Chains A and B, each alone.
Chain A
């Protein structure tokens, strides 16, 4: 290429990239204007409620590390508008990923959203700081059934966010005989047609259940048996996806599998033929929680964020966007009077309002301590085969 041609090409590139940059600049200028005006309305037109538990905040930002697709846009935008604190959000799609990044150090995050079993591990590694309940008046919003679990007695390190189950999801239009148990998923007729969460403990756990073992076994022989059995299932799993397994279900790429509460409900809203089945061996029960990291640089803003986003007139947004089982009684009460349609749908669906026998029959994943490497190795080996 001669010099002149090269120059023309470069000029074109520069002009085009400047044009693109200009577009970006315009957008951000608009937000600053609306901020100065006063009325606290999000870009989506949602009027932000005032803080129910106002906090003193000196930090200007807060760093959160959260599950993908798990926080309604308005929730964080309102917090930013009300407190003038910028929220920096990073996302993860497995507890293991979150743990690996946080334990590597220097992450600078204030808040994370660990699921039950990883909390004991994080506490043992001294990654979490004890919560000051005096700074969390929002705690009174929670249903006592979701507090004081074995994974964190007395809620020393965590407060609840959302709860749910891992169970079977099936498109009854496309699958003639819907599975009723985890064991059924091994049937050859389903092979190549399944989506699973990319979740090692849940997948190994349900395999252990089909063998009649405990989901938290530390017995190497039982785990070895589970590995052999899981190795037969994995080739029939078309897709592992923890970010948005509903997409493949709705698009018809797969017709059944294992997923968690809201993904099944959202898929069902798109296609009523999609059903959620609590397997006979028992579903996996879990709860996601908020926890603060030991070296959180903006603890004041983090407390404010927890108190604001979990107040009833804000947290009801979860029912609309991420309909998991909601431990927040104030949010449910708010929805009951102000968002009747959402509330009724929530209460009527066995997916979100989990039947009592499904809870009784369910299993909770717990930290397995020294046996953790056994689980980790099974996962790598069955998936790599």
Chain B
């Protein structure tokens, strides 16, 4: 038996993949099927699921309402579509700013002396040792009306004799964006760094020999070769931002509702797991569509494996 296993390469592969397969099946496939089944159900007044087959939850999500002004049989209520749109635009904005901040930093680290490189990478990783939620709370201290940023600005303005009213930063959509950028920055820096670091320095020499200036070298050599890192980072940032609800809950004062908040609330506040399930599935589909078109254009970003 063992002898045969030793000789049979494909049986070995199956055996090695078995634990992960079981894991994924129990913790991903089964819950997904449950979510799908529940999303076609109805809620009871007390918030239990009544299993049935109705598309009501999806219809409601896309805004076709039966609760209309008099005289109309159906009308469009953009509430949930707006929430989806808001989440998408936040995810795009976050990804854009994260790339703009992460690329120069990753470039700097990749070009640093090898001895300092580890030090810098280490500094990028240190914040990740603290719990995600605690780091978001720390931003509250900074952004408050009487928080660190306003106090320092107050001093500066005072010294310059310019009248100063504290800025309203906390509990605004801007605060949510800042929090998201901060939380997901390391997930962009690391893959970009990895792909920059792998570039063979002889390529730069070759570019210089052939008469390219530094801008041209960057555009024609560095940037294309580091794209896999950017793509991998984008996937690592965009997808979680679409689903996160903690940052908007804390820094948005529960006023900035994203699709993640909507789903969480359906399960906890509104006692409607059926609508929550439908919203979760739509979120997944939406994220998959965006990721699909993105990866078709830019490749899958092998750096995701390295990161």
Contacts and interface: CB of A to CB of B under 8 A. Distances in A.
Question: Does A pair with B?
Answer: yes
B254 A384 contact: no
B127 interface: no
Nearest to A95: B269
B89 interface: no
16 contacts: A17-B129, A20-B129, A94-B269, A97-B268, A99-B271, A101-B268, A103-B47, A241-B253, A252-B144, A252-B146, A253-B144, A253-B170, A372-B271, A376-B272, A379-B270, A381-B79
Q: How large is the interface on A (under 10, 10 to 19, 20 to 34, 35 or more residues)?
A: 35 or more
Nearest to A124: B46
A97 B45 CA distance: 16
A253 B171 contact: yes
B46 A198 contact: no
Most buried by A among B257, B265, B268, B269: B269
Nearest to B275: A380
Interface in B214-261: 253-255, 257
B277 to A, nearest CB: 13
Given A237-B255, A239-B254, A376 B269 contact: yes
Contacts of B147: 251
B135 interface: no
Contacts of A372: 45-47, 271
B66 interface: no
Contact of A12 (B122, B197, B272): B122
B254 A241 contact: yes
Nearest to A13: B125
A96 B47 CA distance: 10
A240 B251 CA distance: 11
A29 to B, nearest CB: 23
Nearest to A371: B45
B259 to A, nearest CB: 10
Q: Which of B47, B79, B168 has the most CB of A within 10 A?
A: B47
A5 B46 contact: no
B184 to A, nearest CB: 20
A239 B171 contact: yes
Contact of A376 (B80, B121, B129, B270): B270
Contacts of A240: 253-255
A373 B270 CA distance: 8
B163 interface: no
Nearest to A121: B46
Contacts of A12: 118, 122
Interface centre among A13, A99, A253, A379 (most CB of B within 10 A): A253
Contacts of A121: 46
A8 B253 contact: no
B270 A380 contact: yes
Interface in A106-151: 121, 124-125
Interface in A75-117: 94, 96-97, 99-101, 103
Nearest to B168: A192
A307 to B, nearest CB: 32
A384 B46 contact: no
Given A240-B253, A251-B146, A1 B266 contact: no
Interface string B85-123: 000000000000000000000000000001001100110
